[in-house]
Structure 1
Amino acid sequence: MNISILTLFPEMFTGVFGQSILNSAAEKGIVSFDVVNFRDYSKDKHQRVDDYPYGGGGGMVLTPQPMFDAVEDLKHRTSGEPRVVLLCPQGEVYTQQKAEEFAREEQLILLCGHYEGYDERIRQELVTDEVSIGDYVLTGGEIGAMAIADSVTRLLPGALGNETSAVTDSHSTGLLEHPHYTRPSEFRGMAVPDILLSGHHKNIETWRRREALRRTLERRPDMLENIQLDDEERSFLQNLKNEKESS
């Protein structure tokens, strides 16, 4: 996969892409990153990429020409049709399911805005997806682009040392992840649950599934609305709810 990022601040990505899983995946040839300063595509003699909005109002708006030329140049470098993702507070809230969708693509182009916003023609003609990483406003799209690049890269085959890690993470299964424990088996009077030391894999999987249900009920009950449960799991959740109400 290739992930291209259009930004006015390419230096922000140096540390992120040069460390940990992202760097390892790039070294293995699993993913490549292109960080492009779209100011380089400006035809303005001062390399301006923004201007005052028609109709008045505060702030500056990114002009269409540099972004159009940059995206078209990146498209010419590949044979397929890339997903062009606009980082925008008006976009669809980013989820693990969206990350999994993006991870099936060969190329992503992430557009990082600044200032008051984008010329609407960028949104209308260039973009395939509009994404927000949360209901808050940042100074630009760079942090959102980093989050997308990280969440997508770790899903690519070979990126993680343990191929089961990504598919069992919180949100990947539709539930929050179960608790984890490691050595020592007792620390400051706190012991690892006996079931995890039993070596009985089926019972351990049952425990993990129930703990994932418990944690999701406690922290994100809204997620349970879309989960398919068997009769035993529904009974387990109902007992948890009854205990909570009686306590």
Structure 2
Amino acid sequence: MRSVLADSLDLRQIALHNYLDAPDPLPPRCIVQIHWYREPNFQRFLLENQFKCVVIGRHPLDVLLSVLEFIRHEPETSQWLLGNAGIPPELAGQPPSSDAFADYALGWGAENLLSVTYQWWHDELALRVRYEDLVKGSNEKFAALVAALTSEAPPQRLDESLERFDFSYFRSLPNQHGWQGRAGLWRQLIPARTARAIFRRHRRLFDVLGYDVPLTLTTRQQAMRNWEALS
């Protein structure tokens, strides 16, 4: 989303782990991607620099799956929230049916990681979008987001940006930032008992973001076979 918005709106892209590492001064037209707490100092930084906030909601179980895959290829994940995401090095390479994954997903590190979206979902001024809507294959949600940000971008330019930064582009990156690009994968890869346990552990977060965890028939053995098939 950052790449599409930057390209279609002619913005300089900046990705940060800590907002204090932002260029000073900031470029006059830029888009910053960051996973950071909704706390007063950061809120003041955004206000002073006249940022508009966009927050992406995604099913927390799919988020945890994405993290599990991404840490295999991107070492800088250890810097998320300055290490407060608490991702243990030994988690890399483990399947979502493993005890290691369940232990992390039920622990403090996962709660800290997932809480950032939960915090920003409460911001009345933030533009809220859902991952599930963005990957449906329609440009409608992107067009609505661009329109909410500015009236400057012609529709044709947005279409070109979406074509330029399609899923194959992100799959080709060194850290393989593109993996499956579909919603609801957790149903196949996380055993039903583990999924329900994670839901109970983080129930408030699921409720606020509007996600549920209906019971599936996925056993630990079936989840492992599905994971191996994807790998």
Q: TM-score when scaled to structure 1?
A: 0.23
Higher RCO (C-alpha 8 Å, min separation 6) = 2
Q: TM-score when scaled to structure 2?
A: 0.24
Question: Which protein is bigger by CA-based radius of gyration?
Answer: 1
Greater share of strand residues, 1 or 2? 1
Greater share of helix residues, 1 or 2? 2
